[in-house]
Amino acid sequence: MDESHTGKNAMPAKLLEGIRVVDFTHVHAGPLCTYQLGLMGAEIIKVETPGPGDQMRGMGVQLEPGMSPGFMGQSGGKRSVAIDLKDPRGREAVEALIGSADVLVLNMRPGTPERLGIDYETVRSYNEGIVYCAISGYGQSGPEASRPAFDHLIQGESGMFMATGTPEQSVRVGFAVADAGTAIVASSAINAALLRRERTGEGSFLDVSMLESCMTLMGLNFYNFLATGAVGPRVGPNPLAQQGSAGTFETSDGRLLMVNANSHRLYERLAPAVGREDLLESEAFGTPEAAFNNRVALRETFAGIFRTNTAGHWDALLKEAGVPAGIVKTPGEVLDNPQLRYRGAVTTLTGVPGFDDGTLEVLGAGFQVDGSPTGPDAAPPRLGEHTRAVLSSLGYSDEALGALEAAGVIEVSESGTGSRQA
C-alpha cells in the first residue's frame, strides 16, 4: 500500500489556514462543526468553563477524568482555554481573544450569550468583521426560540420519526443525526461567510437551527409533501421494504446482507444470479407491476434463497453480477475496510491521555484535498491545556496569569498533548 494514503500521514487541510475560530460550543452539534473547520486547517481555540469544561467531557466512559470517547473523537487538534466568563476579568480575557478571531461559534440557548457578554452586537462592536455562528434548536427568533433542544426531540419534531418505524412504533435514527447534520450545515454556512468576507470585508451573523437543518436533511420527504401533499410510507424494520427484491436478508451464518436491487432492471440481474431466472417468467413476479403488487411474497422468496448460504458467498456473487449489495457491518469491520484504510479516513494520534499505548484513532473530515486525507495534527486537549499559551500570546504576563489562576478565573493544565502518528 502507498503509505501516503494512510491515516498515519493525514493532516489538517490548508483550506482555512490562518483562520482563527473561537469555540464556545459543547456536547455534539457545535463541537463537531468546529472539528470540521479544524480539519480544514482553521485554528480552533475552545473556551471552556473551569472545572467541568465541555459537558461532553463527562458523558459516557471516562478514559481519564474529563476525557470521554465522545469528547476525544471531535476534539483532536483543538486548543483548550478554561476561563470563567461570569468574572469580569474572565470576560476581559475572552474579549481580547475574540478580538483576534475570524470566527466565533456557540450553541447556547438564545439569551445566554447576552448574559455572558458574547452576543453578536457586543462582539461586533470590537470585531466588526467577525463571522458569528449561533447554533440552537429552533433558531434565534420566533415564538419557540428559547426552547431547549436535544437530538431525539428534534428528530421527532422535524418529522424524522414519521419516516421510520411502523404506525405502531416510531423509531429514532440510531445516531445523533440531528446534531451531526446541523454541524455540517453550520460549517458550510461559516465557509460561505468567510468567502464573502474575503470579497467584501463584511462579517456575518449566522443563525443555524437544528430543526431547519434536519428538514434540509429530509429534503426528499418534504419535496414530495410540498408538491403533492402525500406522506411517504414509513420505512419500518426493513429500509427497502417497498421492493421485494431489495432490503436486508439474513444468511446461513446469521449475518445480514443488504441487497439494493430496488429497480426492475436490477431485479432482472438478481434473479438469475441466485439461480432463480424462472421468477422473471412467472405471472406473479415477471413484470414490474406484478413484482410490486406481490412484493411481500417476492421478498419471502428471496429471504428463503439467502438463508441457504453465507453472507460472504452472496456478497461476492452479487458483486460479480453487478447487483449492489453488501454485508451489514459492525463498527470494527467498517474501520478495517481496506478502502477506508487506503484513503486515510482514519488518523492515528499519539500521546493521547487515557490509553496505555497513548494512541487513538479518529475520523477525518470525510473528504480529501488534492489527493491527501484530512485529520487532526494533535491529540484532544485536557481542560485548560492551552490557557497559558493562548493568553500569553494576547499579552498577558506570567504574573497576571498567575493571579488569574489563583483567583479561579482561569484553569491551567500543563500536560502536553501528543500528535498524529508519523
Q: Give the residues across from 82 on adjacent strands.
A: 48, 411
Residues 3-220+344-411: name the CATH superfamily. Answer: Crotonobetainyl-coa:carnitine coa-transferase; domain 1 (3.40.50.10540)
Give CA–CA dist 91/99, Å, rounded: 12
Give CA–CA dist 233/178, Å, rounded: 21
DSSP H helical segments within 100-171, as ranges?
112-116, 120-126, 151-157
Q: Retrieve residue 19's grid coordinates.
A: 483562520
pLDDT for 162: 82
Whether 204 and 193 have beta carbons less than 8 Å apart is answered as yes
Q: Give the residues across from 135 on adjacent strands.
A: 208
Question: Distance of CA 29 to CAs 292, 385, 411, Å?
Answer: 40, 23, 25
Q: Retrieve residue 280's grid coordinates.
A: 422473471
Q: Which residues of 164-178 are buried (b: 16+ CB within 10 A; e: fewer)?
A: beeeeeebbbeebbb
Q: Retrieve residue 141's grid coordinates.
A: 427568533
pLDDT for 3: 43
Give CA–CA dist 272/246, Å, rounded: 15
Residue 138 DSSP code: S
Q: Retrieve residue 90's grid coordinates.
A: 474572565
- Cell 424494520: give the residue: 237
Q: Retrieve residue 320's grid coordinates.
A: 460479480
pLDDT for 164: 84
Distance of CA 193 to the CA centre of its chain: 20
Secondary structure (3-state) at 190: helix
Residue 87, C-beta contacts closer than 8 angstroms, at least 6 positions apart: 407, 409
Give CA–CA dist 329/382, Å, rounded: 33
| Element at 261 (helix H, strand E) | none
Whether 391 and 419 have beta carbons less than 8 Å apart is answered as no
- CA trace torsion 62, 67, 73, 74 (10° rounding): 140
* CATH 3.30.1540.10 intervals, the chain: 246-332
Give CA–CA dist 248/379, Å, rounded: 38
Q: What is the pLDDT along the chain (422 residues), one digit of tens a residue?
A: 344 444 555 678 899 999 999 999 999 999 999 999 999 999 999 999 999 999 999 999 998 999 999 999 999 999 999 999 999 999 999 999 999 999 999 999 999 999 999 999 999 999 999 999 999 999 999 999 999 999 999 999 999 888 887 777 878 888 999 999 999 999 999 999 999 999 999 999 999 999 999 999 999 889 989 999 988 777 776 666 678 999 999 999 999 999 999 999 999 999 999 999 999 999 999 999 999 999 999 999 999 999 999 999 999 999 999 999 999 999 999 999 999 989 999 999 998 988 888 899 999 999 999 999 999 999 999 999 999 999 999 999 999 999 999 999 999 986 544 444 43
Decide yes or no: CATH 3.30.1540.10 for domain 246-332: yes
The pTM of this model reads 0.91
Give CA–CA dist 7/1, Å, rounded: 12
Question: Distance of CA 144 to CAs 176, 383, 388, Å?
Answer: 22, 33, 40
Whether 78 and 394 have beta carbons less than 8 Å apart is answered as no
Give CA–CA dist 66/369, Å, rounded: 33
pLDDT for 239: 64
Whether 158 and 178 have beta carbons less than 8 Å apart is answered as yes
Secondary structure (3-state) at 355: coil
* CATH 3.40.50.10540 intervals, the chain: 3-220+344-411
For helices 398-406 and 88-99, the axis angle rounded to 10 degrees is 140
- Cell 479518529: give the residue: 362
Q: Which residues of 220-236 are buried (b: 16+ CB within 10 A; e: fewer)?
A: ebeeeeeeeeeeeebeb
For helices 177-200 and 29-39, the axis angle rounded to 10 degrees is 50
